[in-house]
A and B are shown apart, each in its own frame.
Chain A
Amino acid sequence: MAEHNCGKDNCRMAYAVPFAIWDLRLYLDTHPDDREAIEKFRCLCREAGMCCACCGPMSMLPASADDRCVLEEHWNWIDGPWPWEPEANCGKGCD
Chain B
Amino acid sequence: MWSYEKRLQYPVRIKNTNPRLASAIISQYGGPDGELGASLRYLSQRYSMPYDDTKAALTDIGTEELGHLEMIGSIVHQLTRNLTPEEAVKGGFDAYLVDHTTGVYPQAAAGFPYTTASMQVKGDPITDLHENMAAEMKARTTYDNILRISDDPDVNDVIRFLRAREIVHYQRFGELLCRTQQRLSEKNFFAFNPSFDKKQKR
- CB within 8 Å of B: which residues of A? 1-2, 4-6, 11, 14-15, 19, 22-23, 25-27, 29-32, 56-60, 77-80, 82-84
Question: Which residues of B from 52 to 69 have beta carbons under 8 Å from A?
Answer: 52-53, 55-57, 59-61, 63-64
Residues of B within 8 A of A2 (CB): 11, 13, 154, 157
Instruction: Knowing A26-B61, A29-B172 are in contact, say whether A4-B11 is a contact too (CB < 8 A).
Output: yes
Interface residues on chain B, number (Cβ under 8 Å):
28
Instruction: Knowing A2-B157, A4-B11, A57-B63 are in contact, say whether A29-B168 is a contact too (CB < 8 A).
Output: no
B176 on interface, CB distance cutoff 8 Å: yes
- Interface of B, secondary structure class, is helix
A80 nearest CB neighbor, chain B only: B52
B7 on interface, CB distance cutoff 8 Å: yes
Question: In the assembly, what is the distance between CA of A57 and CA of B57, in Å?
Answer: 11
Q: Is the CB of A57 within 8 A of B59?
A: yes
Residues of B within 8 A of A31 (CB): 175
Question: Distance (Å) between the CB of B182 and the closest chain A CB?
Answer: 12
Q: Is the CB of B52 within 8 A of A6?
A: no
Q: Is the CB of A30 within 8 A of B46?
A: no
Q: Is the CB of A32 within 8 A of B53?
A: yes
Q: Is the CB of B11 within 8 A of A60?
A: no
Q: Is the CB of B157 within 8 A of A78?
A: no
B47 on interface, CB distance cutoff 8 Å: yes
Question: In the assembly, what is the distance between CA of A4 and CA of B8, in Å?
Answer: 13
**Which are the 3 A-B pairs with shortest beta-carbon distances?**
A78-B56, A5-B11, A30-B175
Question: In the assembly, what is the distance between CA of A59 and CA of B63, in Å?
Answer: 13
Task: Give 24 A-B contacts (CB < 8 Å), ordered by A residue.
Answer: A1-B11, A2-B11, A2-B13, A4-B11, A6-B11, A14-B7, A15-B9, A15-B10, A19-B9, A22-B9, A22-B64, A25-B60, A26-B60, A26-B64, A29-B53, A29-B57, A29-B172, A31-B175, A56-B3, A57-B59, A57-B60, A60-B5, A80-B52, A82-B55
